[in-house]
Amino acid sequence: MTRIDTPATTRPRLGLAVLILPVLPVSMDVSILYLAMPTVTEDLTPSATQRLWILDIYAFVVAGLLITTGNLGDRIGRRAILLGGATVFGLASVLAAFAPTAAALIAARALMGVGGAMLLPSSLALISSLFPEPRARSTAIAVWTAFAAGGSAVGPIIGGVLLHDFWWGSVFLINIPALLVLLALGPLLLPERRAGGRGPLDLPSVVLSIAGILPLVYAVKEAAAATMSAATIGVGVVGAMVLTVFVWRQRRLAEPLVDPRLFRDGGFRLAVTSSVVGTLSGAGMGSLTSMYLQSVAGRDAFEAALLGIPGAMAVFVFSMSGARVARRLGVRNAFGAGLGAAAVGNLLLLGIGVDGGIGWYITGSTIAGIGYGIVFMLVPDLAVAAVPPERAGSALGVSETSLELGHALGLSLLGSLATLVFRAGGDFAPTLGETLARSGDDPASADAARSSFVTGIHVATTTGAALLVLVAAAAMLGSRVRPT
């Protein structure tokens, strides 16, 4: 059996190294921008609405286009889509770095989202072309996943270093060197792969998928910002209705954008469910503990990022070893173990408090990182294994979309739950930051607000842990999943 580390696979290994390059800037993009927002706000003076769009437009566009770009890669060539995405992402990064106004930055971020949506499924799908043998493919996907998770974690640290010496635009220009290397070496090292005999994209399906996903993600993110209103609910309902029409149409097409038969595969269902619930709990845990470290524990953004390194390292290491865990335990048991470890890590956050708990945070985030690393490595591997090689891009588009949806749901559902518990604890402002500012020199009021916020974190992360346990039980007790 050919192994990924044999001399005969030097070219695929070099190709894998090239495929990792775009993953780092794409995964760093959101986390690095959060750190830069104060200086962006000072320089461009965006309105409150523009500030939200600067942060969110990238994720909206990526979520809306992943299914379409995955299908395009299958039809016209994955390498072509990858290199096109790198070009778009690089040019948009330059435009963002030198944006003269908030509106220009929003437009550049939207264009970056187009490039990111082209890069993600095509880079993963090309792994199945470079490594057709399942064991080697699993190892390669593990490496890709580890760097994707690592990029998100190191984003704030790199951002802190850049912002210490340079202007805010440098956080976008850091993308350029990796993309230039990809554009130079990609045509030499990456095979072109496209599906023969498939018809053209069904344009109504493309429109329906985008018109359904974007409103749904928008409504969820608005709810996460505690701006739930009749209009927000209406937008979400419209998105859900459009997606219903989308599914109805897919069932009647000979060449659907998303083949409904995918969801008959036990492995694919497990992958999608685990990715939604895993990212839901992980996003909720990450956002709430970030606020805890800064607003309750009194750490600045850079110190908070450093405290997150153990958890990020756990994700990185166990993403790399997830395939080995699956081979030893079996796919279902590996999912169960990963989801269970993530649940335990979330429950350990019950130990954090107003007057201490950093050790509980580090321990909990590290154990959760072990579980998330295993799960997030197995998700794309199962998605690829569920379909013929010529449909890998479309399957990965669905699995990557489920990750984006899970992230939005985590911020919305768990964030809103924590806020509800927080505000039930007293006459507080909508956010902890506003409450602390309003409390002024009243330490008793500030301590009460911090205590109520910590209670909200406990309730939200316990809820996330319960969802993880439910999916873990379903994975362990469900129908057999063929090994990958």
* pLDDT reported for residue 484: 47
User: What pLDDT, on a 0 to 100 scale, did the predictor assign at position 386?
Assistant: 63
Contacts (Cβ under 8 Å, ≥6 apart) of 110? 57, 58, 61
Region 157-168 average pLDDT: 72
Does residue 352 surpass a pLDDT of 80? Answer: yes
pLDDT at 87: 92
Using the predicted structure, report yes or no on whether residue 5 has a pLDDT greater than 50. no
Query: Please, what CATH class does the domain formed by 11-138+147-200 belong to?
Result: mainly alpha
Q: Look at residue 1 in the predicted model and tell me its pLDDT.
A: 40
What is the CA angle 218-222-228, rounded to 5?
125
The whole-number average pLDDT for the span 242-264 is 77
Model-level pTM? 0.76
State residue 72's pLDDT score: 78
Between CA 240 and CA 244 the distance in angstroms is 6
Per-residue pLDDT, 195: 60
Of residues 392, 342, 334, the one with CA closest to residue 366: 342
pLDDT at 285 over 60: yes
Q: What is the DSSP letter of 431?
A: S
pLDDT given at position 181: 87
Work out the pLDDT band at 94, boundaries 50, 70, 90: very high
| More confident of the two residues 161 and 44 | 44
**Of the ranges 295-299, 341-345, 353-357, 436-440, which one carries the lowest mean pLDDT score?**
436-440
Task: Tell me what the mean pLDDT of segment 3-30 comes to.
Answer: 69
Is the pLDDT at 191 greater than 80? The verdict is no
pLDDT of residue 360: 93
Element (H, E) at 305: helix 301-307
pLDDT band of 435, cuts 50, 70, 90: confident
Percent of the chain topping pLDDT 70: 82
For the residues 149-159, what does the mean pLDDT come to? 68
pLDDT reported for residue 3 = 44
- Which residue reads 């992958």 in tokens? 271
What would the mean pLDDT of 270-289 be, rounded to a whole number?
84
Give the model's pLDDT for residue 390. 60
Q: pLDDT value at position 463?
A: 93
What digits encode the pLDDT tens for the residues 36-79? 777 787 788 887 667 767 877 787 788 778 778 877 777 777 78
Under the banding of pLDDT at 50, 70 and 90, the label for residue 2 is very low
Residue 322: count other Cβ atoms within 10 Å of its Cβ. Answer: 28
**Angle, alpha carbons 163-221-116 (nearest 5°):** 55
Average pLDDT over residues 159-165: 70
Q: What is the structure's pLDDT at 296?
A: 83
Is the model's pLDDT at 177 over the cut of 80? yes
pLDDT attached to residue 406: 76
Q: Quick one: DSSP state of residue 196?
A: T
Fold match flag (11-138+147-200 vs 262-478):
yes
* pLDDT at site 197: 54
Work out the end-to-end distance of the chain between its first and last CA atoms, rounded to an integer number of angstroms. 15
Q: Where are the domains of the chain?
A: 11-138+147-200, 202-256, 262-478
Average pLDDT over residues 128-149: 76
Instruction: Flag whether pLDDT at 25 surpasses 80.
Output: no
Q: Are 152 and 321 in contact (CB under 8 A)?
A: no
Which has the higher per-residue pLDDT, 281 or 214?
A: 281
pLDDT at 483: 46
Q: Which of 3.40.50.2300, 2.60.40.10, 1.20.1250.20, 1.10.10.10 is the CATH number of 262-478?
A: 1.20.1250.20
C-alpha dist (Å) from residue 452 to 285, 413, 458: 17, 18, 10
What is the C-alpha to C-alpha distance for residues 484 and 474, in angstroms, rounded to an integer?
A: 19
| More confidently predicted of 396 and 244 | 244
The residue ranking higher by pLDDT, 387 or 26, is 26
Count CB atoms within 10 A of the CB of residue 196. 6
Instruction: Decide if 315 contacts 342 (C-beta within 8 A).
Output: no
| pLDDT at residue 153, rounded to an integer | 63
How confident is the model over 107-120, as pLDDT tens digits? 998 898 888 888 87
DSSP conformation letters of 37-105: HHHHHHHH---HHHHHHHHHHHHHHHHHHHHHHHHHHHHH-HHHHHHHHHHHHHHHHHHHHT-SSHHHH
Report the C-alpha gap between 438 and 445 in whole angstroms. Answer: 9
* Residue from 21, 27, 11 nearest 279 by CA: 27
- For the record, the structure tokens of 327 come out as 């081979």
CB 450 within 8 A of CB 296: yes
Q: Are 367 and 314 in contact (CB under 8 A)?
A: yes
What is the C-alpha to C-alpha distance for residues 417 and 224, in angstroms, rounded to an integer? Answer: 10
pLDDT band at 461 (very low <50, low <70, confident <90, very high): very high
Question: What is the residue-averaged pLDDT of the chain?
Answer: 78
pLDDT at residue 393, as a whole number: 61
